[in-house]
Amino acid sequence: MNKQAIIVALLISAIILTLHPLMEWDEYVYLLNAKYFAGQNIYFENIRPPIIPVILSFFYKFNIEQAIIAAPIILSIIYLITSYVLFSKFLKNRRISALLFILASPVFIFYFGKFMTSIPAGIFLNIAVIFMKNYTENQKNHELYLSFLSTSLAFLTRYPMGLTYPIILALYFIFAKNKNLKQLIISQLFFFAPILVWINYAGLESFYYALLWANHEVNALYYLYNAPLIIGAGILLLPFLLKYKFRKEDAWQIIPLITIILFFQLFPNKNARFLIPILPFLGIILMKNVKIPEKYLNILLTIFFITSLICAVNYCNSLCNNSGNLEELRQYFSNQTGVTILSNFWPICSYYTNNTCYALLEPLETLNDRINYTNASYIIISTNYDYPEYSSSPESFAEYSLSMNKLINNSCEEIIIYGVNE
């Protein structure tokens, strides 16, 4: 067991030391929302769930933002720890094997150190199931309350993970020995209270726009095509499920698996990271059915991990590295605060300029009205983004009272800074 734990620690260290993915649009929004909660009113999107920004806000509040890069790493490790606790509830052995199965997932490796919500939401799903499992065994009311509180936090970490609520309710009605209506009603207060606090702060429209903005149609077979991204070479273990025979106890894994997969299959917007929360549950089912001695299974899964890590590193290295451009943008505005900017990459613009940035909107003919409405002093364009369509063509701004103040470029991106003439 000690040797296995050391192996897991070494694999986690390998991810931290070798993988340095560039930040994505959503990560900048979560960091800016964190700054907002810490009292820095630069930029805020109320359609984003609050838990991750609230956690990150403490780094800004206590002036330790240099350490903020450790936050997603810590959360990913907590996800692995809660997964291991979950395994201890359902597996007599092969718990480390199940952990290695998660570590061998390319999408988990890629998002291990990123400021995104799928892994933290998976933490709360794990905790909710663990507490519900404890409650069905000992009937202690606080376990029931904590299960529904964790369910609420899963929702407030990533809105689609409100799926945790029907999952936990189903597990309660299937496995609770003595169903106490009074205690069940009380437990609902633990679910709804945090959500109502957030609704009071952000408003109901935040949920509406969150769904509206996420409504991007993707190929219906996306998850089938991308199964290797989700479970990596672990896909080679799936044939062991051909002789799988369902037992009632397996509902603890089957219900979360089916609920989450079915929802995201029907959900228009699809992304491999959305299915990260299913990995522990799929891992349990696989470990119960794989007919390979544990020693050799762990060696095989470690090889799968190394393969996935190499693929993730190569993918990151293939991406356009525009960090130099963004740092130059930061330097350009290092002595300019309190100005308003229009941009086609507005959250990233806000993050690096430390100023309020608004979105450029269609059509081009409304640009002057937009400038006057926002009192913008600058327009900043990145060629990496194609909305609005006119932003990719500098000629679009020829008729407007603008002057090109700065051109920042490298092999894969240009950032153009226009000054708005009075």
pLDDT tens-digit profile of 310-355? Answer: 999 898 888 888 889 999 999 999 999 899 999 999 999 999 999 9
CA distance readout (Å), 349 to 91, 146, 390? 48, 40, 18
The pLDDT, as a whole number, for residue 412 is: 83
Per-residue confidence band for 1, with pLDDT thresholds at 50, 70 and 90:
low
Residue 167 has pLDDT above 60, yes or no: yes
Q: Would you place residue 294 in the very low, low, confident or very high pLDDT band (cuts 50, 70, 90)?
A: very high
In this prediction, residue 422 has a pLDDT band, given cuts at 50, 70 and 90, of: low
Q: Which two tokens stand for residue 107?
A: 């999408």
Q: At 248, which amino acid appears?
A: K
Residue 103 has pLDDT above 80, yes or no: yes
pLDDT single digits (tens) 62-99: 999 889 999 999 999 999 999 999 999 999 999 999 99
Work out the pLDDT band at 407, boundaries 50, 70, 90. confident
Do residues 408 and 329 lie in contact, with contact meaning Cβ atoms separated by under 8 Å? yes
Higher pLDDT, 384 or 154: 154
Contacting residues for 201 by C-beta, under 8 A, at least 6 apart: 50
Q: Is the pLDDT of residue 213 over 60?
A: yes
Owner of token pair 């009605």 = 173
Rounded average pLDDT over 28-52: 96
Q: How many helices (H) and strands (E) does the chain have?
A: 19, 5
Distance CA 133, CA 144 (A): 9
Q: Does domain 324-420 have CATH number 3.40.190?
A: yes
* Tokens 């409504």, located at residue: 215
Average pLDDT over residues 265-280: 94
What are the two backbone dihedrals, phi and then psi, of residue 173, each rounded to the nearest 5 degrees?
A: -70, -25
What percentage of the chain exceeds 70 in pLDDT?
A: 98
Strand ranges across the sheet with 340-343: 356-359, 340-343, 378-382, 413-420, 402-410
Q: Looking at the chain, how many residues does it have?
A: 422
Map residue 93 onto helix, strand or coil: coil
Q: pLDDT at position 216, please? A: 72
The residue-averaged pLDDT of 251-270 equals 94
Each domain of the chain, given as residue ranges in start order, spans 2-318, 324-420
User: Is residue 298 pLDDT above 60, yes or no?
Assistant: yes
Q: What torsion do the CA atoms of 38, 40, 42, 48 make, to the nearest 10 degrees?
A: 10
What's the confidence (pLDDT) of residue 79?
97
Q: With contact defined as beta carbons under 8 Å apart, do 392 and 383 qualify?
A: yes
Q: Rounded to the nearest 10 degrees, how much is the dihedral formed by the CA atoms of 86, 124, 179, 261?
A: -80
pLDDT, position 204: 84
Q: Give the pLDDT confidence score for residue 391 in this predicted structure.
A: 86
Indicate the pLDDT class of residue 293, thresholds 50, 70 and 90.
Answer: very high
Mention every residue, 6+ apart, whose C-beta is less than 8 A from residue 61: 38, 39
**Residue 415: φ, ψ to 5°:** -115, 120
Q: How far is CA 26 from CA 5, 53, 154, 319, 346, in A?
A: 33, 11, 18, 17, 11
Query: Is residue 349 within 8 Å of 415, Cβ to Cβ?
Result: no
Q: Average the pLDDT over each of 11-15, 53-57, 284-288, 396-400 and give the range with the smallest value.
A: 396-400
The answer to whether 310 touches 106, Cβ cutoff 8 Å, is: no
pLDDT of residue 319: 84
Q: How far apart are CA 311 and CA 106, in angstroms?
A: 8
Strands 356-359 and 413-420: unpaired
Mean pLDDT of 224-231: 94
| Chain mean pLDDT for the chain | 92
Q: What is the pLDDT of residues 361-386, one digit of tens each?
A: 999 889 999 999 999 999 999 989 98
Radius of gyration of the chain measured on its C-alpha atoms:
24
- 98: enclosing H helix or E strand: helix 95-103
Going 228 to 233 to 239 to 241, the CA torsion angle's sign is negative
β pairing state of 402-410 and 356-359: unpaired
The predicted pLDDT at position 302 comes to 93
pLDDT band at 2 (very low <50, low <70, confident <90, very high): low
